């Protein structure tokens, strides 16, 4: 299976985090600190007005630009 951006996931589905696609080092490190790490299951809860994802027991709100950087795999 190929990996694709989180924004193409349907709300309510769970996928595994594949990685972060970004050249913004600070963003990558911050997301890593929030628990966006490869292999972890991620559930997309909603997409509007912001993306809301759950990773483990953590819920994260992301704007579209940030959500697009997170790649997942089903």
Partner 1 sequence: MKNRILILGNPNVGKSILFNRLTGLYATVSNYPGTTVEIAAGQARLPCGLVEVVDTPGLYSLHAITEEERVARRYLMTAPDGVILQVADARNLSRMLPLTLQLLQARFRVVLAVNMLDEAAREGLSLNLDVLSHRLGIPVVGTIATRGEGLDRLKEILFQVLLGQISYQKTYELRFSPEVQADLSAIATNLKAVYPLPPDCLSTLVLAGDEEILELVRQQESILRWRKIKAVITAANARYPCGVGYQLAIEVHAQAEQILKGICLRLASRTRHWQNRLSRFTTNPLTGLPILLAVLYFGLYRFVGRFGAGVLVDQLDILFKNILIPAGANLVATIIPSPLWQSLFVGEYGIISLGVRYAVAIILPIVGCFSFFFSLLEDSGYLPRLAMLTDRLCKSLGLNGRAIIPLTLGLGCDTMATLTTRILETRRERFIATFLLALAVPCSAQLGVILSLLSPYPGAVLLWGSVVLLVLLLAGHLLDRLLPGSPPLFFLEIPPLRLPRLSNILVKTFSRMQWYFLEVLPIFIGVSVFIWAGRFFGLFQALLRLLEPAVKALGLPPEAAVVFLFGFFRRDYGAAGLYDLAASGALSVRNLVTAATTLTLFLPCIAQFAVMWKERGPVASLLIAGIIILTAWAIGFAVNILLSLAGL
74 is a site residue for partner 1 (CB under 8 A): no
Residue from 37, 41, 44, 74 binding partner 1 (CB under 8 A): 37
Distances (CA, A) of 52 to 1, 42, 72: 24, 10, 15
- Binding residue for partner 1, selected from 31, 42, 44, 72, defined by CB under 8 A: 31
- The distance of closest approach from Cβ of residue 24 to partner 1 in the complex, given in angstroms and rounded to an integer, is 8
Q: Round to whole Å and give the CA distance between 61 and 49.
A: 10
Nearer to partner 1, 62 or 72 (CB): 62
């Amino acid at each position: 299976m190929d990996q694709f951006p989180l924004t193409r996931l349907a709300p309510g589905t769970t996928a595994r985090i594949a990685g972060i696609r970004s050249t913004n080092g600070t963003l990558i490190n911050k997301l890593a600190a929030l628990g966006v790490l490869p292999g972890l299951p991620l559930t997309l809860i909603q997409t509007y007005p912001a993306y809301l994802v759950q990773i483990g027991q953590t819920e994260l709100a992301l704007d579209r630009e940030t959500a697009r950087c997170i790649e997942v795999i089903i």
